[in-house]
Amino acid sequence: MSAEKPKDGLIGKTIGQYEILEEVGRGGMATVYRGRQKSMNRIVALKVLPRHFLHDPGFYERFEREVDVISHLEHPHILPIYDYGQDEGLPYIVMRFLAGGSMEQLIRRGTRPLDELEKPVRQVAQALDHAHQQGIIHRDLKPGNIMLDESGNAYLSDFGIARVLGSEMTGSMIIGTPAYMSPEQANGLPIDSRSDIYALGVVLFELITGREPYQAETPMAVLLKHINEPIPPITQYRDDIPDGVEDVIIKATAKDPTNCL
């Protein structure tokens, strides 16, 4: 019952200058709504975080600092942040609204010809490269954090949000999503841009095959597979993929990060 409260309580309400119109996505850390910015009469996406994060007295300061850094990441394929703040105990981030949904939704609709995947994957890689040049690591790259516009162009979202919701708040907590974690990330070791490259390799595998490379009954079992098992041959699932594409996936998902570049 409690999972329904944010939806029931916020739709039709106003946060700051943003009227909440409908829920478009829900994750473990936040709910995303389609909203309307009253001052400009434009449609936006609002990511609303639970009130309980503000129980940590240092959370909002970290939240402001992290979002401020990310808001200055300007790239054609990084989803722009328009605004952020908190209203009656609800922290929120306002972003450009994209009607094409997420790459996760695209995957659910079935596998695509390889030539349809080239453009969005290239755009994501370019966005990651730009962020890495600025010293910023995504930390939670996955299909649900890649948004699409009506023309199929890809945009990375949620830079740095995993960090502010994760380890800086809880100390030793491993942050990210188990299905896409690099071995060093799964081990709780320091990470750098190569963890994002590993995650992109996993995303590419899933885009091509329609499934995650590692299946297990628990998140911990998935992490152990990332640490110990090579990525399955993509030819197990499709026979129309050039060797060069599989080579890219194998290199990106190398267990030793020194071998992924």
Q: How far is CA 147 from CA 37, 143, 240, in A?
A: 20, 8, 26
Rounded Cα gap, residues 50 and 53, in angstroms: 6
Q: Where are the beta strands (DSSP E) in 125-216?
A: 146-148, 154-156
Q: Which helix (H) or strand (E) holds 20?
A: strand 18-26
3-state SS class at 191: coil
Does 140 participate in catalysis according to the annotation?
yes
Q: Give the span between the Cα atoms of 196 and 130, in whole angstroms.
A: 12
Catalytic-labelled residue, pool 83, 140, 149, 192: 140
DSSP 8-state assignment for residue 51: G
The secondary structure of residue 71, as a DSSP letter, is H
Annotated catalytic residues are 140
